[in-house]
């Protein structure tokens, strides 16, 4: 999207410059308010960088008959398409389904230690969680975009 806006802006400026007479200023095609809003939009994209990704995480205390209790982190990463609450909801639904799967097949006890939602990639969230919980192990990073579509098809 940023590339498209920038390209349209550059093409419009190039086109207006080609019709200018030597020694005469080019008439402004766009209002100053419009140009300022484009500049602000591009700056917000540049500074946010990773805000296009969201990450939901469940930190779980798990135990099985064969293994002692341990702490694992299950992540679901999705894309923020403008409705961040919907993105968090779909990622959380993916995590809930994975938690049921873990409890049904692998662990006799599964208890949620903490739920975390952030507007950043899961790699950054994992670093923060690892600093807080030294003994946590990463279980998996799930693709919330794909898995939420599969879950919604299963419900139909």
Q: Is the pTM of the predicted complex or chain greater than 0.85?
A: no
Tell me if 125 sits within 8 A of 57, measured CB to CB.
Answer: yes
Flag whether pLDDT at 46 surpasses 50. no
Confidence of residue 64 (pLDDT cuts 50, 70, 90): very high
The pLDDT value given to residue 156: 72
The pLDDT value given to residue 118: 96
Flag whether pLDDT at 14 surpasses 60. no
Percent of the chain with pLDDT over 90: 60
For residue 115, the tally of other CB atoms under 10 A from its CB is 11
Q: Which structure tokens are listed for 24?
A: 């005469």
The pLDDT value given to residue 33: 74
The pLDDT value given to residue 154: 81
As to burial, measured by CB atoms within 10 angstroms (0-12 exposed, 13-18 middle, 19+ buried), residue 150 is exposed
For residue 110, the tally of other CB atoms under 10 A from its CB is 19
Map tokens 């500074």 to a residue. Answer: 47
Give 5 or 150, the one with higher predicted confidence. 150
CA distance readout (Å), 54 to 2, 22, 143? 19, 51, 11
Flag whether pLDDT at 24 surpasses 60. no
Average pLDDT score over residue span 10-26: 52
Residues for the chain: how many in total? 156
For residue 60, the 8-state DSSP code is E
């Amino acid at each position: 999207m940023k590339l498209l806006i920038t390209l349209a802006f550059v093409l419009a400026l190039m086109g207006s410059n080609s019709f200018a007479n030597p020694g005469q200023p080019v008439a402004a095609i766009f209002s100053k308010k419009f140009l300022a809003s484009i500049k602000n939009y591009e700056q917000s994209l540049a500074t946010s960088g990773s805000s296009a990704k969201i990450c939901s995480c469940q930190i779980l205390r798990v135990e099985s008959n064969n293994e002692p209790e341990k702490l694992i982190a299950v992540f679901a990463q999705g894309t923020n398409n403008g409705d961040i609450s919907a993105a968090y909801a779909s990622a959380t639904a993916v995590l809930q389904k994975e938690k049921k799967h873990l409890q049904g097949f692998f662990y006799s006890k599964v208890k949620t230690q903490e739920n975390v939602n952030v507007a950043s990639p899961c790699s950054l969230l994992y670093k923060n969680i690892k600093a807080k919980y030294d003994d946590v192990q990463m279980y998996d990073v799930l693709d919330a975009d794909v898995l939420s579509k599969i879950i919604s098809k299963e419900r139909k």
